């Protein structure tokens, strides 16, 4: 449970709000690179943190993102023409470069210097890993771009997708770190033996041996560790032979998570960014650190069966959404699927978008032991927000190499420390100065 005022503090993200300021201290994904496929092509109109923006790929290939309203008389630059290193407002023809400079005012006298005093608000952008990133904070605090692992890999090693989600960003973020729900929401109905065991997370030693999977304990234990990028939620189940099965989900400040998928498998990163306080945009990237994604992995991404949503390719709105009851199939729900809804992300949407509606009333909830990851994450974000209100900058923004982290799925004897297991599962180039089991 969270006080009403703390809930407000975490869920309001406009430019004047403390959480809005915290978001603006980090590089955030703004859109897919593929939305701006070619120089001088049509602009797009992203909306982020309550701000209306226009994005365009200039002649040089560089992406500019400007405040959408034209400085002249506030027509939306989205209707503009993307031409020769700048976007030209169609109302009176003023033209702006990617850095916001006004470079042409065709109606003004020829020798006028007026344009030199006009500037569109422009944001820094960076393109990496299939995404266009934006930094919306104070220029003097702009952090180095975090070295997320897939952004350093060849293009065929990763796939990135985008979806809109009709709720506050925190509902999605909490769902990502909420390992306990995997055993229920994403469960397939099966025999007694594999009850509560989603098939995709079975350890291969049981598959290879041709054995039936063991009945995991549905009641997991949860640990939490604090580290340079944020937190790691560590959930463990116990095998009958006494070993522990660990699923470790990193939460990277401010709103990124690494969802474990399986043994020696690809990694998945998810980000949620507020569009405004009741609508969000989610990005999910799947990658393999050592090889191109194979056909099966690509299919998991494109079919919508996994954590990548099936969306309308023009609007990025999920095909199954609130307006069509998420295409729930009650017959399927009675026979083979816990929810009757298609896809893992598809199952997440109704429960996240419909928690009191778009902004959950957290002061009325009842949290149990399985919610430790969520409690820890809220506590960390509240600390960072309140620190920032007192002028203390979030230290995570200046630790780019810690953001190279991976999720970890591993089986180990009981006496092996989960912190050691997490560190052993990281890339060699991962740098974190501290990690401690904290809760």
Which residues bind to Fe ion, rule: CB under 5 A?
348
Closer residue to Fe ion in complex, CB, 22/185: 185
Give the separation between CA 432 and CA 147, rounded to whole angstroms. Answer: 13
At 231, is the secondary structure helix, strand, or coil? strand
Residue 71 CB, nearest approach to ligand FES (Å) = 8
Closest CA to 54 of 62, 63, 44: 44
Residue 432 CB, nearest approach to ligand FES (Å) = 48
For residue 173, what is the enclosing H or E element? helix 169-177
Q: Does 91 bind ligand FES (CB under 6 A)?
A: yes
Give the separation between CA 187 and CA 307, rounded to whole angstroms. Answer: 14
Give the separation between CA 307 and CA 266, rounded to whole angstroms. Answer: 12
Give the separation between CA 246 and CA 235, rounded to whole angstroms. Answer: 6
At 180, is the secondary structure helix, strand, or coil? helix
Strand pairing class (122-128; 47-48): unpaired
Q: Does 89 bind ligand FES (CB under 6 A)?
A: yes
Give the separation between CA 136 and CA 302, rounded to whole angstroms. Answer: 31
Residue 383 neighbours by CB under 8 Å, 6+ apart: none
Q: Does 96 bind ligand FES (CB under 6 A)?
A: no
Among ligand FES, Fe ion, none, the one that 338 touches (CB under a kind-dependent 5 to 8 A) is none
Closest CA to 166 of 53, 18, 324: 324
Residue 262 CB, nearest approach to ligand FES (Å) = 52
Q: Does 92 bind ligand FES (CB under 6 A)?
A: yes
Give the separation between CA 276 and CA 218, rounded to whole angstroms. Answer: 37
Among Fe ion, ligand FES, none, the one that 70 touches (CB under a kind-dependent 5 to 8 A) is ligand FES
Q: Which residue is nearest to Fe ion (CB)?
A: 348
Among Fe ion, ligand FES, none, the one that 348 touches (CB under a kind-dependent 5 to 8 A) is Fe ion
* Size of site (CB under 6 A) for ligand FES: 9
Q: Does 121 bind ligand FES (CB under 6 A)?
A: no
Q: Does 119 bind ligand FES (CB under 6 A)?
A: no
Closer residue to ligand FES in complex, CB, 77/271: 77
Pull the structure tokens for residue 175: 């769902």
One residue of 4, 34, 60, 73 binding ligand FES per CB under 6 A: 73
Q: Does 101 bind ligand FES (CB under 6 A)?
A: no
Residues 43-72 that bind ligand FES (CB under 6 A): 70, 72
Residues in touch with ligand FES (CB under 6 A): 70, 72-73, 75, 89, 91-94
């Amino acid at each position: 449970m969270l006080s009403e005022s703390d809930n407000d503090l975490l869920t309001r993200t406009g430019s004047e709000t403390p959480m809005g300021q915290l978001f603006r201290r980090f590089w955030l994904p703004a859109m897919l690179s593929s939305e701006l496929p070619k120089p001088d092509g049509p602009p797009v109109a992203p909306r982020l943190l309550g701000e209306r923006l226009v994005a365009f790929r200039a002649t040089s290939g560089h992406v500019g993102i400007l405040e959408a309203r034209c400085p002249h008389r506030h027509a939306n630059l989205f209707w503009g023409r993307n031409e020769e290193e700048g976007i030209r407002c169609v109302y009176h023809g003023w033209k702006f470069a990617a850095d916001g400079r006004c470079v042409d005012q065709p109606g003004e006298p020829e020798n006028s210097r007026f344009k030199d005093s006009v500037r569109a608000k422009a944001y820094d952008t960076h393109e990496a890993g299939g995404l266009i990133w934006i930094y919306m904070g104070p220029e003097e605090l702009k952090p180095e771009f975090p070295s997320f692992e897939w952004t350093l890999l060849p293009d065929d090693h990763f796939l990135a997708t985008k979806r809109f989600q009709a709720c506050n960003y925190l509902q999605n973020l909490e769902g990502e770190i909420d390992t306990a729900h995997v055993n229920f929401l994403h469960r397939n109905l099966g025999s007694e033996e594999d009850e509560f065991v989603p098939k995709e997370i079975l350890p291969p030693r049981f598959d290879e041996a041709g054995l039936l999977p063991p009945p995991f304990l549905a009641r997991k234990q949860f640990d939490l560790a604090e580290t340079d990028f944020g937190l790691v939620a560590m959930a463990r189940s116990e095998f009958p032979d006494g070993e522990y099965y660990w699923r470790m989900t990193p939460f990277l400040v401010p709103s990124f998570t690494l969802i474990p998928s399986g043994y020696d498998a690809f990694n998945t990163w998810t980000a949620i960014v507020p569009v405004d306080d009741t609508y969000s945009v989610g990005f999910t990237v799947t990658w393999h650190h050592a090889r191109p994604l194979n056909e099966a992995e690509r299919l998991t991404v494109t079919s919508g069966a996994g954590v990548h949503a099936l969306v309308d390719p023009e609007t990025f709105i999920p095909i199954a959404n609130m307006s069509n009851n998420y295409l729930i199939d009650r017959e399927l729900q009675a026979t083979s699927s816990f929810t009757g809804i298609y896809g893992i992300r598809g199952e997440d949407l109704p429960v996240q978008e419909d928690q009191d509606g778009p902004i959950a009333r957290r002061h009325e909830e009842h949290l149990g032991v399985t919610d430790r990851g969520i409690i820890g994450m809220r506590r960390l974000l509240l600390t960072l927000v309140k620190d920032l209100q007192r002028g203390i900058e979030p230290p995570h923004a200046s630790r780019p190499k810690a953001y190279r982290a991976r999720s970890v799925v591993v089986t180990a004897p009981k006496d092996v420390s989960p912190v050691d297991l997490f560190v052993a599962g990281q890339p060699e180039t991962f740098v974190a100065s501290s990690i401690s089991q904290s809760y």
